[in-house]
Amino acid sequence: MDRNTGTNPVLTSRQNPLVKDIVRLQEQKERQRSGLMLLEGTNLLTEAMAMGWTLETVCYTEAWAERHKVLLESVLAHRVEGVTPYIMEALSTTVTPDGVVATALRKLPDWQTQLTQGTLWIIAETLQDPGNLGTLLRTATATGAGVILSADSVDPTHPKVLRATAGQWFRRPPALAPDLLAVVDYCQRHGILTYATTGQASQCFWDLDYRGPVAFVLGSEGRGLSPLLLNQVSNQVSIPMEAGVESLNVGISAAILLYEVQRQRIRTR
């Protein structure tokens, strides 16, 4: 390949070793083993580059290259490979890929490091739906919040998670923690107020002061917080709902809580 022009033989076989390696990144165990993740689409590629993320390989179709000549020039320092639409379909998890995928370094922050950045966090236990997690991460980024996930949650580098964040994932990646009890204990020892949301709580979430360091502890979509973790959290609050409504989507709950914090903090600036 000529890195000055970006021209290279187009990959046409799904048996090509590079193609097979990238396809395997659609599986969590391969992402963990290789230390790489799969970025699908122009938006994710652009955001990753804007944040200085480490890319390994960029694969694109001829039609994509014609539409994005400037962006193609900017990735030529990496390994770039032209592929046919047939190969792009294999590399992508989307039904209608837009013509580019990339592999990038899979790196997540340490949870203690995450708790030293900013004054607002979401601590989430056993989230399983990648779309919900992606929505939560997008909202967290918009409100300046860090996210810490239990290790048994859906892989935060799942392609659907990345797409659901609309590229905002790269601005503040989530952290994984093997023991959320230790995370909550750390918060309490370092002056970070912790709040869990439950339907039985007597305090409504909007009646409290969140202008100091705050972490909201949220449970899984189906089961909520485990009893041990719920008992560890210092405070419990409720989100008002009509009678008969069991719970809200975890991404929606996070958005309601985070924007109440934003409202209070903006009003006192």
DSSP bridge partners of 176: 149
Comparing 4-8, 25-29, 182-186, which segment has the lowest mean pLDDT?
A: 4-8
**CATH number for the segment(s) 111-267:** 3.40.1280.10
Q: Where are the domains of the chain?
A: 17-105, 111-267
Amino acid at 213: P
Q: What is the pLDDT of residues 204-229, one digit of tens each?
A: 999 999 999 999 999 986 778 999 99
pLDDT at 4 over 60: no
Amino acid at 245: V
Comparing 2-6, 36-40, 155-159, 241-245, which segment has the lowest mean pLDDT?
A: 2-6
Alpha-carbon distance of 183 to 109, in angstroms, equals 14
The CA-to-CA distance between both ends of the chain, in Å, stands at: 54
DSSP bridge partners of 124: 149, 218
Amino acid at 127: L
Q: What is the pLDDT of residues 138-191, one digit of tens each?
A: 999 999 999 999 999 999 999 999 999 999 999 999 999 999 999 999 999 999
pLDDT at 8 over 70: no
Q: 121: part of which helix (H) or strand (E)? A: strand 120-124
Alpha-carbon distance of 140 to 117, in angstroms, equals 13
- Select from 23, 175, 130, 11 the least CA-distant residue to 82: 11
Q: 55: part of which helix (H) or strand (E)? A: strand 55-60
pLDDT at 6 over 90: no
Contact predicate 212/193, CB 8 Å: yes
The pLDDT mean for the chain works out to 93
Structure confidence at residue 137 (pLDDT): 97
Alpha-carbon distance of 216 to 123, in angstroms, equals 6
Alpha-carbon distance of 8 to 18, in angstroms, equals 14
Q: Is 166 exposed, middle or buried (0-12, 13-18, 19+ CB in 10 A)?
A: middle
Strands 193-197 and 146-150: unpaired
Cα torsion 91, 92, 95, 99 to 10°: value is -90
CA distances from 233 to 72, 92, 137 (A): 49, 41, 22
Number of H helices, E strands in the chain: 12, 10
**CATH number for the segment(s) 17-105:** 3.30.1330.30
Query: Would you say the C-alpha torsion 236, 240, 243, 249 has a positive or negative sign?
Result: negative
Which residues, in sequence order, are CB contacts of 177 under 8 Å at separation 6+?
111, 148, 149, 150, 151, 183
Q: What is the pLDDT of residues 42-78, one digit of tens each?
A: 999 999 999 999 999 999 999 999 999 999 999 998 9
∠ CA 216-166-117 to the nearest 5 degrees? 40
Kindly state the DSSP code that residue 155 receives in the 8-state scheme: P
